[in-house]
């Protein structure tokens, strides 16, 4: 692995703090872009094979939670080595695979492809807006973390409840909340990297990837509900 891509866990060698922070941010963006490749591949495999669609909602939720938390634990354990990049990319493939159920459902609409591209474009707009805001905002956002975390837990619990309730109104509500919540998380996570609060680019990539994933998923769900055109 290139020396500049080695995970950074502290400030060593007497390099200026600004230089270290820029290196972490640059490596985070590089790995974030790379992570989209296995995500798309995983989604394509899932849509092509129908493997996630064949699972019931309950089993799909169990596989998703077990796989996601298992991968995140493994990433945390390997983040200070080159293996961390491989584990992260495997995780993003898995997340793409899990997203394929929703993508397949949206592609079933006459305008499904355009809805997917609209969700992707909307997510890109949110990301660039939050990245721009994070680079200019001066306020310390550290205290936001605990409130955002509590919000994410409540959202997860409500989402699990809706697996059994199957309420369209609740799904719409949760999707709208998720877009706002994870957009705020995106700002918080990007600001932490810029301010030097996160010094490991693998951990930083994981956090921002999850923000982007959740915004995209929620946008796509809303577009499918309100914009899907039947054949």
Q: The tokens of 204 are what?
A: 């930083």
Q: Which residue has the tokens 């769900």?
A: 221
Enter the tokens of residue 191: 């600001």
Query: CB–CB of 205/35 below 8 Å?
Result: yes
- In three-state secondary structure terms, 130 is helix
Q: Which candidate, 186, 211, 200, places its Cα nearest to that of 78?
A: 200
* pLDDT tens readout for residues 42-76: 999 999 998 887 887 778 888 998 999 999 999 99
Cα–Cα separations (whole angstroms), residue 88 to 27, 132, 194 = 14, 25, 21
The pLDDT assigned to 138 comes to 84
Rounded Cα–Cα distance for residues 118 and 132 (Å): 21
| pLDDT classification of 27: cutoffs 50, 70, 90 | very high
Q: Which of 16-25, 29-38, 42-51, 211-220 has the lowest mean pLDDT?
A: 16-25
CA angle 120, 124, 129 (to 5 degrees): 150
Report, in angstroms and rounded to the nearest whole number, the Rg of the chain calculated over CA atoms: 18
Mean pLDDT of 127-140: 91
Q: Which of 21-30, 47-56, 222-231 has the highest mean pLDDT?
A: 21-30
Section 82-89 average pLDDT: 95
Within 10 angstroms of residue 95's Cβ, the number of other Cβ atoms is: 22
């Amino acid at each position: 692995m290139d020396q500049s891509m080695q995970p950074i866990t502290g400030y060593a060698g007497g390099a200026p703090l600004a230089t270290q922070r820029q290196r972490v941010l640059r490596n985070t963006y590089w790995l974030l872009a790379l992570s989209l490749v296995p995500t798309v591949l995983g989604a394509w495999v899932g849509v092509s094979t129908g493997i996630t669609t064949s699972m019931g909602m309950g089993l799909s939720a169990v596989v998703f939670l077990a796989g996601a938390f298992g991968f995140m634990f493994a990433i945390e354990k390997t983040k200070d080595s080159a293996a961390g990049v491989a584990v992260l990319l495997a995780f993003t493939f898995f997340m793409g695979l899990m997203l394929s159920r929703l993508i397949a459902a949206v592609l079933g609409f006459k305008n499904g492809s355009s809805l997917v591209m609209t969700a992707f474009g909307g997510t890109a707009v949110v990301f660039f807006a939050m990245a721009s805001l994070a680079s200019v905002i001066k306020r310390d956002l550290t205290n936001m973390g605990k409130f955002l975390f509590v919000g994410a837990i409540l959202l997860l619990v409500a989402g699990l409840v809706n697996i059994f309730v199957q309420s369209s109104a609740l799904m719409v509500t949760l999707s709208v909340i998720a877009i706002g919540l994870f957009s705020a998380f995106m700002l918080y996570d990007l600001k932490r990297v810029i301010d030097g609060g996160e010094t490991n680019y693998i951990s930083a990539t994981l956090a921002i990837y999850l923000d982007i994933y959740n915004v995209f998923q929620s946008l796509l769900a809303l577009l499918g509900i309100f914009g899907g055109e039947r054949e």
